[in-house]
A and B are shown apart, each in its own frame.
Chain A
């Protein structure tokens, strides 16, 4: 990690927002280091989009302090706006203009100058594979193309911090992969990414840190592996031919749970290659014969069942 990475891009304390009696954000603290990817994970209605809207100066918070790129969002919104780029859930393109005109429009609004604007537009059209359709009105484009243009428009003017609200929702697997690559390229250039997602897999692949948001509260925060350790859903299921093997395996792997009926043992694991290898090594050393092996990685369901149910019980008890 370089010195830059330790600087703070987004810093929020006690962020609150309600609409009438409905509390959307109930005191959120966030710290995002510069040059990292931060994923806000949560189900629909958790408050992810509201968080992005507040951090990107689109709406005002009811309470709390937020600094983005070193500027207070309430006092210096324009300084924040000059440093950020936002791609929301709904495409923020002008459908009546062509793709090229859209990019030039944003270049003008970023005050880049005509020549730089044109060069940048050409570059971005190339990079996002939009050259062929560049001169056609965006209303005639496919949804995936509009999405790519949307992101290209966000990149005009080299924002240092980029907000992506569910960047891959509704994309086919190939486009999703392309999007992930784009995000990684941006991070390589030192850009800070704040993204929201419903998919743990996505957060896992991209993010340096993940925060889990549920009904307006952060129920967990940490690196992907930290987070997965808190989620009991991930395990390796070992199946055995007879109960003696199961017995030996159960005594080898402490903390595992056994299922005598189907002669299976569930060993908690993050499902990663490294931990699998360690597990197989242990089986080898103890000369335990395994009949079958299957990996179950924790998914969003597990995260939510474990993290949010606990909150429920606490609330219920209190």
Chain B
């Protein structure tokens, strides 16, 4: 009743609160944008010459490697935002304010949804910065603009999935320190997939993992949408992973929110 009719209004209120936090303390957002830029430059200029020579496709060299590494760097950016989200959720949980929210007649999901929407908005800035730097150093998508829009859509869907997961991760911890470490594996996933080198060069066990983990189909889909490489079933698998992670993250986060606050 009360809660259902105010879902949107309450979520907007929570979102405003989170955006206000971000605006007031921009250092976290800047850090989140800075790390993937450093990785981009590092991989293109330090490792790019060698790695590009080993790509083994039609195009080789530093420029080809820049094109190759872009999807992985973009996912790393989203993973970085997830870290920020987990931290702010964990801070929220340690503060008494969430206890107050729990005793008010507001939509229960609004606290969580506010964080997720805030996280997606927070990822816009770093994604823009990373894309701008990439363009500046020679990134040129070879496909039609409609495919770029589809790539942006794929990124947005990934951001939704990772946000729900990171909200749940942030809630599952007792301390802010743990929360900042938990999403670390998300930063590593693009590396342990097809983000930085083709999976066929990896040893068997790792290769199996790399080809079957969620980030690889997402990376292959982005690569196809930006450079016209074959997408195949990757698109469908990528969307399925995103939907599954979103739903699981949502259910997990909601269960954690309902958990007895005295015995977290």
Residues of A within 8 A of B (CB): 19, 49-50, 53, 56-60, 78-79, 81-82, 84, 86, 88, 90-97, 101, 105-106, 108-111, 137, 150, 153-154
B143 contacts the other chain (Cβ, under 8 Å)?
Answer: no
Q: What residues of B have a CB within 8 angstroms of the CB of A137 in the complex? A: 24
| Bound-complex Cα distance A78 to B2 (A) | 7
Q: What residues of A have a CB within 8 angstroms of the CB of B24 in the complex? A: 96-97, 137
- Cβ contact within 8 Å between B3 and A94: no
Nearest B residue to A60, CB-CB: B260
Q: What residues of A have a CB within 8 angstroms of the CB of B25 in the complex? A: 96
Q: What residues of B have a CB within 8 angstroms of the CB of A56 in the complex? A: 103
- Cβ contact within 8 Å between B95 and A94: yes
Known: A96-B24, A111-B6. A58 touches B103 (CB 8 A): yes
Nearest A residue to B258, CB-CB: A60
Interface size class of B (residues with CB under 8 A): 20 to 34
Contact of B260 among A57, A59, A97, A109 (CB under 8 A): A59
Question: 8 closest pairs, A vs B, by CB?
Answer: A92-B96, A92-B100, A81-B105, A82-B105, A108-B13, A78-B105, A90-B96, A86-B103
Q: What residues of B have a CB within 8 angstroms of the CB of A105 in the complex? A: 13, 17
Nearest A residue to B24, CB-CB: A96
B97 contacts the other chain (Cβ, under 8 Å)?
Answer: yes
Residues of B within 8 A of A (CB): 1-3, 6, 9-10, 13, 16-17, 20-21, 24-25, 95-97, 99-106, 260-263
Using a Cβ cutoff of 8 Å, how many contacts connect chains A and B? Answer: 78
| Bound-complex Cα distance A79 to B103 (A) | 11
Nearest A residue to B12, CB-CB: A108
CB distance from A195 to the nearest CB of B (A): 15
Contact of B262 among A53, A93, A94 (CB under 8 A): A53
| Bound-complex Cα distance A96 to B1 (A) | 31
| Bound-complex Cα distance A88 to B98 (A) | 12
Known: A56-B103, A59-B260, A97-B20. A78 touches B96 (CB 8 A): no
- What are 14 of the A-B contact pairs (CB < 8 Å)? A49-B262, A58-B99, A59-B260, A78-B105, A82-B2, A92-B96, A94-B97, A95-B95, A96-B20, A97-B21, A105-B13, A106-B104, A109-B13, A137-B24
Q: What residues of A have a CB within 8 angstroms of the CB of B95 in the complex? A: 92-95
- Cβ contact within 8 Å between A101 and B20: yes
Q: What residues of A have a CB within 8 angstroms of the CB of B10 in the complex? A: 109
CB distance from B168 to the nearest CB of A (A): 21
- Cβ contact within 8 Å between A109 and B106: yes
- Cβ contact within 8 Å between A92 and B263: no
Known: A19-B263, A58-B261, A109-B13. A93 touches B97 (CB 8 A): yes
- Cβ contact within 8 Å between A91 and B2: no
Nearest A residue to B3, CB-CB: A78
- Cβ contact within 8 Å between A58 and B102: yes
CB distance from A105 to the nearest CB of B (A): 6
| Bound-complex Cα distance A198 to B111 (A) | 34
Q: What residues of A have a CB within 8 angstroms of the CB of B104 in the complex? A: 81, 106, 109-110
User: In the complex, given contacts A59-B260, A93-B95, A110-B104, what are 15 additional A-B residue pairs having Cβ atoms less than 8 angstroms apart?
Assistant: A78-B1, A78-B105, A79-B105, A82-B105, A86-B103, A88-B99, A90-B99, A92-B99, A92-B100, A93-B97, A94-B97, A95-B95, A108-B9, A109-B104, A154-B100
- Cβ contact within 8 Å between A81 and B96: no
